[in-house]
Chain A
Amino acid sequence: MLAWVSAIVQGALLGGLYALFAMGQSLIFGVMRLTNTAQGDFIILASFAVVSLAAIIGLPGAGASWLALAALVPIAFAAGYGLQRLVLNRVLGRDPLPSLVVTFGLSIVIQNLLLEIYTADWRSIDSGGLNDASLRLADGLAVGILPLLTFLAALGVAVGMHALFNRTAIGRAFRAVSDDREVAELMGLDHRHIYALATGLAFVLVAIAGTLHGMKTTVSPSDGPALLLYGFEAVIIGGMGSFFGTLLGGMILGVTQVIGFHFDAGWGIWLGHVVFLGMLIVRPSGLFPRTR
């Protein structure tokens, strides 16, 4: 019995990480209807960037890792802004094909660049023992500190994004260009700039997700597509356009995977995918659909 409770708790916390994978994706899709098929690879790229930046900083323990994340945040924002202005803005349009091809091409380029620079070896980000520390709730039931921290980060991002979209000027601009680009332009918004801000912000979320993912587990250059699929499933299960829905979707996916692993190591991921497909049959628009 306790084993099941434990599996559900671990799965729910794992779902926080999946939701974090998805938040940037969700933001970009919400603002400009662009499906970024390189999302997972950007997360892995961020993990490797933190590994390298921490090595440059050279402090012992987790201090270097957190400083590396702090250094990566502005770099990630600039990279996202630049990518949108220079590349992605050119492929937006009614036809989703060009943007899908371009982001899919980026995915292949990133994976193979990482392979060339870092080889196929696994790396991980030093969390200063945080990944091993746990909080004992009862006999046989403990939660890891890092998964808990990750889950709280995901919750914080969901609350923050919700507030940003509903309470701030930039959030209003995001909603405006999403609802009707032409009218937003008439009101004096430059959609190319707004889109680029959204992608820059999404890349900051990617940097956070990549850091926490690299602390939790080892990363290798070809891991990206799996993360893309988990994040995507969290978004669809939760319902497009709702950040809290994405968090809940991630939790459902996480619990399913952990329960699947509990039965047999080979079927955990499979069961997660199947539950996602089952959701498509039962509720194709997700749990909390919000058409913006």
Chain B
Amino acid sequence: MTPPAIAPEFQVVRATRASRAGAIVAALLVALLATLPLWADAGTLHDLDEVACYLIFALMWNLLAGYGGMMSIGQQAFLGFGGYALLVMANLFAINPFVAVPIAALLSAALAVPIAGLAFRLQGGTFAIGTWVIAEVLRLSFANWSGVGGGAGTSLTALRGIDRVTRVNLTFWLSQASAVGAIAFTHGLLRSRQGLALLAIRDSEVAAESQGIHVRATKLGVYVAAAFGAGLAGALYFLGNLRISPDAAFSVNWSAFAIFIVMIGGIGTIEGPIVGTLIFYLLNKVASGFGAWYLIGLGLLAIVVTIKFPHGLWGGLSRRLDLQFFPVRRRLLLPATKDK
């Protein structure tokens, strides 16, 4: 007896109306950004460079904490390492700084493999502080290396031969392309099999393991990818700032800002960090003159949002309006059910 053939009466759909509209808007936005150096001033371009760095860094922190279940306070280890790798390659080995940016990101990713060997021995809250210790080890190591200026830091002298307009424009295109790439990568990853595995791990490591998911390998992959992104953000940031010091490169404030951006925007979504970065950037423009009070406000806001609105601004909106620009969920569409 052969089972009766069942005609597929259902469909799996991922795109939403918002995502189709969003794709058009995004394409227009990318085109706009690409032409920006032709008509915007250098200050605006530099601001957008920094926005791109924060966005990449926050997206990667979100990937780690919001999808991988790894709450790190030490991602500045990879950001600072990326910055210093750029500086060492450009200043000491005379590699073109723009070529050195992706290599610096790769070196950060490579560094993540042995570091994961250490950090993965800790879980939960101890993992968070352990990663912070590792970042401190890197900070102190670079602070003691006189070849890169020691504790005072040094300038990216390798850029001296390149004329200013070329430098500013190339930095801008590179940073914006990297940010778009980071969004595309995150979206692609979360839609893939690995993304599904990651979501399963986030919900329950034990259950995921029992379903045949290689939990450790998947987490390592995410950790390395996040280190690549953080290294890329660091290399781009210090390429735009022309100066690096261990205290700036390995500052725990990087993690603080990433946490703020992701929690305010909405953890565990792709739109969240984008919204969060824009809010963070605007707040920074308006209120950073208030110094310590500004940071007190950021800290309090992060606490209140975490307790009262754990899904963040985007998470809340998205739930209420069923709005998703970067859908990763699969939806099952069934034909109208007939009575038997």
Binding site for B on A (CB under 8 A): 29, 33-35, 37, 87, 90-91, 95-102, 104-109, 111-113, 115-116, 225, 228-229, 232-233, 236, 266-267, 269-270, 273-274, 276-277, 280-281, 284
Contact = CB atoms under 8 A, between A and B. Distances in A.
B84 to A, nearest CB: 16
Contact of B144 (A101, A229, A270, A273): A270
B73 A229 contact: no
B303 A97 contact: no
17 contacts: A87-B307, A101-B263, A104-B302, A105-B300, A105-B302, A108-B299, A109-B300, A112-B295, A115-B292, A229-B129, A229-B132, A266-B140, A273-B133, A280-B121, A280-B122, A280-B130, A281-B121
Given A90-B307, A270-B141, A232 B129 contact: yes
B136 A229 contact: yes
B199 to A, nearest CB: 14
A273 B133 CA distance: 7
A49 to B, nearest CB: 18
Nearest to B134: A277
Contacts of B306: 91, 98, 101-102, 105
Nearest to A29: B125
Interface string B136-158: 11001101100000000000000
Given A102-B303, A109-B303, 16 more contacts: A35-B129, A99-B125, A101-B259, A105-B306, A106-B299, A107-B299, A108-B296, A109-B299, A225-B132, A236-B126, A266-B144, A267-B140, A269-B140, A273-B137, A274-B137, A280-B118
A217 B137 CA distance: 23
Interface residues of B, number: 39
B293 interface: yes
A266 to B, nearest CB: 5
B133 to A, nearest CB: 5
Contacts of A225: 132, 252
B121 A284 contact: yes
B298 interface: yes
A101 B302 contact: yes
B55 interface: no
Interface string B239-282: 00000000000001000100100010001000000000000000
A259 B126 CA distance: 26
A233 B137 CA distance: 13
B144 A87 contact: no
A229 B307 CA distance: 26
Contacts of B125: 29, 33-35, 37, 96, 99-100
B143 A266 contact: yes
Contacts of B124: 33, 35, 96
A277 B137 contact: yes
A250 to B, nearest CB: 15
B71 interface: yes
Contacts of A269: 136, 140
B310 interface: yes
Residue among B69, B129, B130, B307 with the most chain A CB within 10 A? B129
